[in-house]
Amino acid sequence: MMTRKPGRSGFGSASTAEQVTQGIDATNLTAIITGGASGIGLETARVLALRNAYVFIAARNIEAANEAKKLILKDHKNARVDVLKLDMASVKSIKAFVDNFIALNLPLNILINNAGIMFCPYQLSEDGVEIQFATNHLGHFYLTNLLLDKMKETASSTGVEGRIVNLSSIAHNYTYKGGIRFEKINDKKRYNDKKAYGQSKLANILHTNELTRRFKAEGANITANAVHPGLIMTKLFQYSGIWMKIFKLFTSILLWKNIHQGAATTCYVALHPSLKGVSGKYFADCNELKPSRLARNEVLAKGLWEFSTKLVNEAKKIT
């Protein structure tokens, strides 16, 4: 990251989303991007639309999402962009979103699980789950499962590989002992905002790996990969306080990216033809990187899938 030099892919930390998708025609692709109303989600939506994909911005704040749509259309007047309401911390909202999308009778080639929150004070979602785990992992787990049949159907009927991109973080290395606190997910007394975030980001990679295992077993023409976008000063840092601003002041040249660079790895993994058939990998700066030992634990990945299924079923009973 500090050298800004390209890696084996030909791209690196200084590459932008437009650069890594240059020359790619996504005219026949339909993509959903969660949290696409701001930050790197908006830049991802803009660049995919620039490459002619039909983009759905899924966001909790519809007003902000519509403003994002206007910005994209201003940049590319022929862009195909639509907006649908989605709250990742609510199984009720996720189910309604999927029902609304399925009712449109459109294909689905790309799902980018981008929305997230970070370092927030302890709180529970409306479904009674610790909010970072609920928003960053559980909501995307449920959303992905609800959309899998549509993605499989699209891949089968068109012969075009489906792609799922889970936004994780290098923070997956910093989590609770054992990785995932299955029996203490809502433990307020021992809650640590940084470790809770790391736990949710570890879950994103484990989810990716278990999806890949299942796709290979089924023979589904879909890939799943996780990405670390890099350090970008977005609304994610709203709970970080003055210490993060000071950290950025002294490290901005070496470690931080702008929005255009921050969306590059997501767009690369979602669209680049060189990644056809590549699944279950973790990418940073548009290059494959080895994640933590816990992130490569198959038993932990299977356990997380079972635990997540249980939490979703319990949440559906509440609603």
228, 83, 204: which is closest to 144 by C-alpha? 204
CA 162/CA 147 separation, integer angstroms: 11
203 and 304 in contact (C-beta within 8 Å)? yes
265 and 230 in contact (C-beta within 8 Å)? yes
Q: CB atoms < 10 A from the CB of 192, how many? A: 14
Q: Is 191 a catalytic residue?
A: yes
CA 259/CA 144 separation, integer angstroms: 25
Residues in a beta bridge with 57: 33, 83
Task: Give the CA-trace dihedral at 67, 70, 74, 78, to 10 degrees.
Answer: 150
Q: Check 191, 239, 268, 282 and give the catalytic one.
A: 191
CA 284/CA 280 separation, integer angstroms: 14
224 and 166 in contact (C-beta within 8 Å)? yes
CA 231/CA 214 separation, integer angstroms: 31
Q: Which residues contact 219 (CB under 8 A, 6 or more apart)?
A: none
CA 284/CA 292 separation, integer angstroms: 13
Residues in a beta bridge with 65: none
Q: 187-191 contacts: CB < 8 A, separation 24 or more?
A: 188/122, 191/122, 191/130
Phi, psi of 232 (to 5 degrees): -135, 130
- Distances, alpha carbon 47 to alpha carbons 79, 110, 276, 286, 301, in Å: 10, 14, 19, 16, 32
- Residues with a catalytic annotation lie at 191
